[in-house]
Amino acid sequence: MRVEEHPIINFTRGKKVNFFFNGREVEGYEGEPIAAALHAEGIKVLRHTHNKNRPRGFYCAIGNCSSCLMKVDGIPNVRVCVEALREGMHVQTQSGRGELRDNN
């Protein structure tokens, strides 16, 4: 199943692109929400909670909760339900709160 429309973001499905989920090459369509591409690939667990390490996936799908926080191209806490997919992205399951990189 693939998400075709979104209630708050207007996305146009672009060309088929490859990206990486936890180091594994997968496919999606440029411009669709990352979570939608993962869902279409059968990937339902997007992160694990800080306190009890419980799995979380799509919930609100409109950027209002924190269920879909993932690490994208090294940046933690990205809400992948409203983040557009691009060729070559590296998307990782996040555990806990995620750590920000120190840019100093």
Q: How far is the CB of 65 from ligand FES (least distance, A)?
A: 4
Contacts 24+ apart (CB under 8 A), 55-61: 61/6, 61/7, 61/33, 61/35
Please report where in the chains the tokens 């990189």 appear, as a residue. Answer: 101
- Residue 68 touching ligand FES (CB under 6 A): yes
Contact yes or no for 39/85 (Cβ under 8 A)? no
CB nearer ligand FES, residue 17 or residue 79: 79
One residue of 17, 34, 37, 61 binding ligand FES per CB under 6 A: 61
The residues binding ligand FES (CB under 6 A) are: 58-61, 63-65, 67-68, 79, 81
